[in-house]
Amino acid sequence: MANRSSPTVRRRRLAAEMRRLRKESGRTREQVAQFVGCSPVTVTRIESGQSAPRVADAARMLELYGVTGTRRDMLITLAREARRRGWWQQYSVTPWFEVYVGLEEEASEIRSYEAEAIPGLLQTEGYARAVMLADVDVPADEEIQRRIAVRMKRQERLTGEDAPKMWVVLNEAALHRQVGGRETMREQLRHLVEVSRPNRVVVQVLTYGAGAHPGMDGSFVILRFPEPADPDVGYVQYRRGSVYLEEPADVGAYAEVFDHLRARALGPDESRALIARVAGEMP
């Protein structure tokens, strides 16, 4: 199995380590900044994972915290990896979504509830384009092409040797909404049927008959990572940004909702049959 590495995940792990080491040392951010020769804001950004430290700055911090030997070497390596460029950075992805793409790149499991649309990782190009053209502020053609390119590139993960386990609960409304017209929607539904056949991708449909349910607040994603040092992340997107949930209680609340949703949804085989039937009956 390939060893996939994302600088976003490395930066997040390094941030947690640096934050913990500073607190254990009893130093303030101001004291650390003075020793390193940077601003307290820089220390805050490093500890929150907003930016990766320069390797020299990371080394000074570890010197202040008294970290030596193998542990120091490991953290310095982590700092170097955190400063590498991810493939998505060449596409000028929106900053708030760039973080998600970086996290998704190394995720070993993706759990997603989608209330209105087919999730991006499972969209056809035609469907994705139709979604973008339906926006209030329709992007320029070049921007649409860029966004589609990113979406298609992300989908390569599902067919790689280290493909994540993906589990999607899809609201039935997403099957009947004719995004892009009949032909585009029929193609999209047939793609859903095909992509859900391998064991790596599980799609369950939450039918109208399920009635009221715990996911009526909206869509969300939970990412799980292969390393224990990288805790789960919850992701909720809104109109002009997103929220990343990292506190165990917050992520756990969404995980509980997801468990309830998949328990109420049709099983994978029944869901696949329903999707195929909707595609076949589409006027």
Q: Which pLDDT score is estimated for 154? A: 96
Q: What is the pLDDT of residue 95?
A: 86
41, 93: one domain: no
Residues 39 and 176 in one domain: no
Say yes or no: 38 and 105 in one domain.
no
pLDDT for 2 beyond 80: no
Rounded Cα–Cα distance for residues 176 and 154 (Å): 25
Q: Give the DSSP letter string of 18-40.
A: HHHHHHHHT--HHHHHHHHTS-H
Considering the domain architecture, whether residues 29 and 104 belong to the same structural domain is answered as no
The residue-averaged pLDDT of 85-101 equals 90
- pLDDT tens for 79-92 read 999 999 999 989 98
The percent of residues above 70 in pLDDT, for the chain, comes to: 99
> Within this chain, do residues 136 and 228 fall inside the same structural domain, yes or no?
yes
Put simply, whether the predicted model's pTM sits higher than 0.75 gets the answer yes
Range of the domain at 159: 87-281
Confidence tier at 283 by pLDDT (50, 70, 90): confident
Show which of 82, 99, 120 is a domain's final residue.
82
- pLDDT (tens digit, 9 = 90+) per residue, 33-71? 999 999 999 999 999 999 999 999 999 999 999 999 999
Q: How confident is the model at residue 12 (pLDDT cuts 50, 70, 90)?
A: very high
What integer pLDDT is reported at residue 3 of this predicted model? 56
Average pLDDT over residues 88-103: 90
Burial of 103-142, coded b for 16+ CB within 10 Å and e otherwise, reads bbbbbeebbbbbbebbbbbbbbebbbbbbbeeeeeeeeee
**N- to C-terminal Cα separation, the chain:** 44
Average pLDDT (87-103) is: 91
Q: In terms of domains, do 118 and 257 share one?
A: yes
71 in the same domain as 92: no
